[in-house]
Amino acid sequence: MPKVLDYIGVNGSLAALGALFLVPLGYRVGQSITAFSNTRPRPALIGALLLTVLFWIAGVMIQI
């Protein structure tokens, strides 16, 4: 039981804190990509893919 409480209390709190910043950031990025994709669909798709890969690499690097 102490491991579960530690996981919920520490790791869950860190995840919630990260989501507090990343969710609004993702929403704003999504809005700008949507507006950009209406005018230039191909560069918007490439930008979204590159941003996804960069976030994935950053997540991998943080865990190392």
Q: Is 37 exposed, middle or buried (0-12, 13-18, 19+ CB in 10 A)?
A: middle
pLDDT digits (tens, 9 = 90+) for 4-63: 777 777 777 878 888 888 889 988 988 887 787 777 778 877 888 898 999 999 998 988
Segments forming the whole domain that contains residue 44: 2-63
Domain count, the chain: 1
Look at residue 2 and tell me whether its pLDDT is greater than 80.
no
| The pLDDT value given to residue 50 | 92
pTM, 2 dp: 0.49
Strands (E) in 1-64, as ranges, are: none
| The pLDDT value given to residue 54 | 94
| The pLDDT value given to residue 35 | 81
The Cα 3–Cα 19 span in angstroms is 23
